[in-house]
Structure 1
Amino acid sequence: MGRWEPDAAGRLATAALELYAERGFDDTTVLDIAQRAGVTERTFFRHFADKREVLFQGSAQLQDAVVAAIGSAPSGAPLIEVVGAGMRAAGEVLDDRRDYARLRYAAIVAHPSLQERELLKMSTLAGAVADALRARGVTEAAAALLGETGVAVFKLGFERWIGDPSAPNLPDCIAQALADLRTLTA
């Protein structure tokens, strides 16, 4: 190993995504990732539990942004707008990482167990949205429906954002997905 360089976690995440794109998830080892990042395997495990976790490391930050935005939304706002504000807040967390998001998405859609993990993370996010809405006095059923709806809106906005290089920023893509939903339900 050479001279110490900062941001080992960031370098590891970048190395992992590059290797997953080049070789595939199954054919990439933790040692491969560590070597590409210029660190040891031990350093890898200081930052990540396993090579899957590289892809899911930001889930808590994303969820925290969503819950905070829902909690700070005006009390009289329509509930779908409250959820939309939460999803746009998630978009703001990711917006400056489009290239990273594309690589991450490609790795996940290419591997069934990673797809399963992503679905679990999205389900957890929907539950957190529902919890935040219940804290605002929303009924159980309405909170659950809005949580799932919010995740669907986020997912559609995200897919538009990474799939179309001319698409605007992620919060705007999420806002457009919400507008599409409003049109369909009007």
Structure 2
Amino acid sequence: MTNTSISTEPFSEEIARAELYGLLARLWFAPPDEALFKQFSVAVTQAPEAGGYLEAPWQALVAGMRETTVESASQEFAALFQSVGKPEVFPYGSYFLAGFMNEKPLAQLRTDLAALGLTRDDAQFETEDHIAYVFEVMRYLIAGDDAGVSNLEQQRRFFRNHVQTWVEQLCDAVDEQPAAQLWRAVAGMTRAFVVVEAQAFDLLEA
């Protein structure tokens, strides 16, 4: 994604949301590397909110990261999302919304991204409806420094149209895979976060 300058304002709840979108995007895009494993081993020991809805899935994700190695994570990622033939799980919106890749939901997403002034990096292999890309857009809409684009209304609209419509189905698909271990925890955290975000936007619209 291009045209994405991120704000460096002091830490806030909004920045925490943006960082969680960014973390989940990273975990859905590729297996974690040694640096990310080290962050989980020393830094992320607390749940986002004690007793909150995200506490249990966050702890499961932390535990999953601490119990996994770079090699085993790479093997699991390949087993789930990469295949010479048909992958076990397609992390693309078009697949869940239309049943096939590169269908109308992707075209609509591209139209909406263009309206936001966002374009796909030509060096990226994945299409814009990959979950990692969609989450990166949400991160930018929260923490970007262009108030005309990065604002609550744009977040709400994009979330309703391009996240809430299919991401929970993706998480369910991962849960159904016997090979899923770490990504079962990633899916659990993702599902819970999407629920929390949906509830927040419900309140905004009430």
TM-score, normalised via structure 1 length = 0.29
More contact order relative to length (CA 8 Å, sep ≥ 6): 2
- Greater gyration radius: 1
Higher share of residues assigned helix: 1
Given the two structures, how large is their TM-score scaled by the length of structure 2?
0.27
